[in-house]
Amino acid sequence: MMGTTAAAVPWGRLMPEAGREAARIVDSACVRLWLGEVAARLEAERDFLTQLDAAIGDADHGVNMHRGFTAVMARVSAVEEATPGQLLRVAGRTFVSTVGGAAGPLYGTAFLAAGGALGDTERFGPRVLLDALRASLEGVQRVGAASVGDKTMVDALSPALDAYELELRVGGSLETAVNGAREAAVAGMRATIPLQARKGRASYLGPRSVGHQDPGATSTALMFAALEQAVIADRSQRFAAGARRPVSGS
């Protein structure tokens, strides 16, 4: 039965945009889950990130990211009622004010830009999330002026967004889109190993930066892994709560 329908309707493109976006499944609870998952992973990966940065930078990336996200969680937990955009703007402002080096302004800008793009909408679908993530990438590139191949966080962020967008184009869901984004971010992170750094502190090393995984691309891949985890956890919580149908039309 399903097979007949699938054969009659060519893949992708015909999926009505409005139909997908009608399932507005990202809300404040989901964003809080994501931020919490990022914080937990940064705590677990703190020493690893610092090790990566010790090889081609100044050995502070893990410590900085962990300190920043600890502050973000404290600030976000204190905010009871907030839209997803407000939460991300709080996270961005907190990051800028608590994290030094390059990571503070870059990630701070990424969160602020995503939060700005979302405005004060209370729930939204995968297409709106893509717009917010695109705004993050633009913000990061405005601040850091890095392109793909420079051995920076952009090497994970940019392919992740392309993979996410491709999933939506072929009729994928939020779940498949964040899964594709995570896989592409990890591949982009690994692809930084043979690169020579052209931006940031690692670029001072010239050819000696080759053979090391970029710490910023690594923390960005971590954030996409956390996003996928949060989307899955959020869906499970909805099912557990008995909300088996996607919320539509709200």
State the residues that interact with Mg ion by CB under 5 A: 53, 57-58, 60-61, 101
Q: For Mg ion, which is the closer residue by CB, 57 or 126? A: 57
Helix (H, G, I), strand (E, B) or coil at 124: strand
Residue closest to Mg ion when measured from CB atoms: 57
| b/e map 135-157, b = 16+ CB within 10 Å | bbbebbbebbebebebbbbbbbb
Q: For Mg ion, which is the closer residue by CB, 38 or 99? A: 99
Distance, in Å, from the CA atom of 70 to the CA atom of 81, rounded to the nearest integer, reads: 20
Closest CB 155 distance from Mg ion, rounded Å: 16
Closest CB 185 distance from Mg ion, rounded Å: 20
Q: For Mg ion, which is the closer residue by CB, 103 or 195? A: 103
Cross-strand pairs, 124:
26
Closest CB 103 distance from Mg ion, rounded Å: 7
Inter-residue contact 189 to 221 (CB < 8 Å): yes
Q: For Mg ion, which is the closer residue by CB, 101 or 246? A: 101
Q: For Mg ion, which is the closer residue by CB, 176 or 203? A: 203
C-alpha distances (whole Å) from 131 to each of 49, 76, 114, 128, 181 are 28, 23, 8, 5, 14
Closest CB 164 distance from Mg ion, rounded Å: 27
Helix (H) or strand (E) holding 108: helix 103-118
Distance, in Å, from the CA atom of 124 to the CA atom of 143, rounded to the nearest integer, reads: 27
Q: For Mg ion, which is the closer residue by CB, 25 or 103? A: 103
Inter-residue contact 200 to 154 (CB < 8 Å): no
Closest CB 201 distance from Mg ion, rounded Å: 6
Closest CB 72 distance from Mg ion, rounded Å: 19
Closest CB 101 distance from Mg ion, rounded Å: 5
DSSP calls for 153-164? THHHHHHHHHHH
Q: For Mg ion, which is the closer residue by CB, 62 or 115? A: 62
Backbone angles phi, psi at 26, to 5 degrees: -105, 125
Strands (E) across the chain are located at none
Distance, in Å, from the CA atom of 223 to the CA atom of 219, rounded to the nearest integer, reads: 6
